Copies of this chain bind each other. A is one copy, B any other.
């Protein structure tokens, strides 16, 4: 069996992550069939996708014609069966509860024809567990995006024990074709790659505040106006590479003891009690404004797209 490149995608589950996937596929020219068991959520997701494309016109990321064409490729579907009929690829973004996920995969496996890839947006579950007892476990895979996927290109791709290697290859290829940057993981670990690295920072950040070393504002600024400016351009290895004329190998050998020493000093179980959380919450509200979360997210999203544009216009040398 060969896995065909699909031109129809099915989005199953239309919450915050699912609705953003609608835009990824529709924008890339795929006919995008969308289902959610909650009809109200389905309608809201379609409305959001249309408004979001129109906002992109206003911001100069799309032409009006491109936005109209994108909108015309979105098809709400009342049933899961309708959504997957004719789709070559299913992106599932349902609830994380493992019983729900398993039920969805049984249903998807019955509804979708044999050569259709069933990809999950799960950030928490192992496909080996989700697809236990699913006949088509070989075509099930994790494709975990960074929220929101229509803005942030990375997707963590992670096979289950039974996933066919050709499904892995076809998923990576498909995601690249729709403009994403898939990264392949070799095996499941809790939190995958991104949430583990994020958790490592959050733990130390909370520790630095909770132990009185610095204020929440100070910790926030050190990332936002320091470390994060580098990490938007190069990851931890590229950053080390650019810090030494001998590259990252030399850098790690020269500073290996400094790193090990620091690792031994980092907190592993910071105070994560109410007082620390309340202090962080108050400082963060003060920094970014009260009740501003939707405006802040919208700002973040348009700024990320501008940064990505800068990176496209002037890519790294080499």
Contact = CB atoms under 8 A, between A and B. Distances in A.
Interface string A80-121: 000000000000000000000000000000000000000000
Interface residues of A, number: 114
Interface stretch (A48-56, A63-71, A126-134, A243-251): A243-251
B280 A196 contact: no
Nearest to A188: B213
A198 B227 contact: yes
A1 interface: no
Interface of A: 124, 146-147, 152-154, 156, 181, 183-187, 189-191, 193-205, 208, 212-250, 252-253, 256, 258-263, 265-266, 268-269, 272, 277-278, 280-281, 283-285, 287-290, 292-297, 299-300, 302-304, 306-308, 310-311, 314, 316-318
Given A225-B152, A240-B202, A214 B186 contact: yes
Given A186-B214, A272-B252, A199 B266 contact: yes
Nearest to A193: B222
Contact of A214 (B185, B310, B317): B185
A212 B217 CA distance: 36
Copies in the complex: 2
B248 A284 contact: yes
A76 to B, nearest CB: 24
Contacts of A261: 190
Given A241-B284, A303-B310, A194 B213 contact: no
Contacts of A262: 190-191, 195-196, 199
Nearest 3 A/B pairs, CB to CB: A289-B318, A249-B281, A228-B231
Contact of A200 (B204, B222, B246): B204
Given A152-B226, A185-B214, A229-B308, A219 B205 contact: no
Contact of A299 (B244, B303, B304, B317): B317
A215 B316 CA distance: 20
Given A154-B226, A181-B225, A232-B231, A197 B190 contact: no
B285 A314 contact: no
Contacts of A231: 223-224, 227-228, 231-232
A204 B196 contact: yes
Interface-centre pick from A189, A232, A266 (highest chain B CB count, 10 A): A232
A153 to B, nearest CB: 5
